[in-house]
Structures are given as structure tokens and as C-alpha cells.
Amino acid sequence: MRARWILLPVLGVAGTAAARARMLRGVAPGLRHPAAAVIPSIGPVTLRAARAARGPSGMPAGGGVAVRRHDVDGGQDVYVYTPAEPNGAALLWIHGGGTIIGAPEIDHARCIRMARDTGTVVVSTRYRLAPEHPFPAGHDDCYAALRWLHDGAAERGLDPARVGVGGASAGGGLAAGVVQRAVDEGVPVAFQLLVYPMLDDRTTTRPADRRGALVWTRRSNAFAWDAYLGAGHAERDVPAYAAPARRTDLTGLPPAWIGVGELDLFHDEDVDYARRLEAAGVPVELLVEPGMYHAADLLAARAAPMRAFARSAIGALRRNLAPRD
């Protein structure tokens, strides 16, 4: 998977060669992509440049997967990836970008692979971005896409009892919030696939450590959460589903796969959420990848650890949405 345009444009060099070397210390050798140490933090100035980065236009080559675009009532448009031999399962996929950048087009290759390798119909949704559209706009768009998927399940030959929700980074956080709301409102969700999810706005107030030096930094995270929830969010109550880690009762949520890197800024909040899900009786598969920073699976997709990381997620998707006896 090519990912140069998926993250943030390189706007400048992050300090000296020595500084870059320090930033890469602890990174697994196969993941030391040169771009990892020069992607700048995102803020009011770099936001415009990040959004100006363009991904591929038009429909992607499907590799045996049919790709169609549809409009969603009450939401945004979605891409539907249908494998050659669908097995009746479906996954709502939500792209990353801190809730402030990104589009479903950035995940064409990922969605094609998930559909092809699992037989799952993948629906990848667009959603409105902050700060122009703070919570609940993006969340509501994603939830509308889930309702659209369920409403059209029969005509697409899908089993509504085998619908999952997943996403990466901010998309993983949005996915977790959508799953919580679905459970509360009685909308069936069988599985949640959370790839280094952005779950807890309170991470912005925690003491700094070695995590978050690469790709998605503490500065980027603080700016993104302020854009999504408004300044001072960490010191006040926030609405339900806005920051999924704040939910106190996790009982009744569907099984989860959570994958995160050891050096990812979201490491602690993701591990904590996995442990709390497990304590609530929710089956959880947690993968913490040594020496991995945020989104290393995109920058260093061909590295052996990242191939294994992707296989683990796809395997969990296949197992949890498999046909039931």
C-alpha cells in the first residue's frame, strides 16, 4: 500500500540529523522510514497544507473487487467494495486523520484488501471534518452510514447479524463511538476493528513521555481534540460517544481487535480500553507491536512486522464475521 499522501505533507525538516536520529531511537529497524521523522505536527497553519494534499482521483482498480459510490440519506457518500465471492458479512470502515483531515479515498487499497481477503463487503464512509464541523457532525455521518448499511442489507444479500465497524486512528475512535451508540440503540454490531484508535481526549493533559514523537504528535493531538470538542474539553464532561474511552460501562459491546504500536501516542489509552473491555466481559484481541509508531503500517507497509500487523487485523475480521452455524 502506498501512503506518501495518506499522512501529512512534509513541510520542513524536523531539526538536525542528530535530532532525527534521537526521534527514531527505539523504532524497530524495519520501520525506520525517513519520512517518519520529518512529518510536522499539525496546527492552524499546517492544516490547510495537509488538506491540500491530494490522493488518487476516480475509482480505484479493484483487483477482483467491485467498487461503487453511493449517497447516504442523512450522511455523506460511501464507497462499497464488493468481493468476487461475498460471504454475507459487511464492515463499515472509517478513515483516519484526527477528525480534521482525510477522506475515504485514502483507504481504497486497505478496503480492497479487506474485501478481497475476507469475502466481506466493505463500506467506507465520508464524514464532515472539524473544526468547521465539530462533534457530533462526523459521528452522526458515520452512524448514518451504519444505518444505511443495515437498511440495505437484505437487498445486498448481507446478514445484518454479521456487520462490523472498524477504522484507523481517528477513524478507530469514531468507530468505537458508533459501536457504543449502536449498542445503546439496539442496532446489531458483531465486531469492532480498532486500528490504533484515537479514544481519549484526556491524553492531551497527561505527562509527556517517549511516545508520540513520530507522525502523530502531542501537538497534533491537542489541536485535533480542540477542533473536535472545543477548548477545555479535558477538564469538563463531554457528550456520550465523543471520546469513547470516557464511557464507564462497557458491558454488552461486541468483540474487539485493537492494534497499536509501542511508540504510538495512543498506546496507553488503547491498552487501557482493551483491558476495560476485557474486564467487562467483552472478548478482546490486543496486539501491541514493539518499536511501532503511529501509522507505521502505512509508511513501512512492506516491513515484515507491518505485514504481520495487517494479517492479524484481517484474520480477526475473518474470524469474527464468519458465517454462523
CB-facing half-sphere around the CA of 288: CA atoms within 13 A = 14
The residue type found at 9 is P
Q: Which residues are catalytic?
A: 169, 264, 294
Q: How many of the other CB atoms lie within 10 Å of CB of 185?
A: 9
Measure the CA–CA gap between 104 and 305, rounded to whole angstroms.
25
- Spatial separation of the C-alpha atoms in residues 187 and 258, rounded to whole Å: 22
CB-hemisphere CA count at 13 Å for 79?
A: 24
Q: How many Å apart are CA 47 and CA 101, to the nearest integer?
A: 8
Taking a C-beta distance cutoff of 8 angstroms, is the pair 224, 179 a contact? no
Please tell me the distance from the alpha carbon of residue 175 to that of residue 181, in angstroms, as a whole number. 10
DSSP code, position 107: G
In whole angstroms, what is the distance from residue 28 CA to residue 148 CA? 41
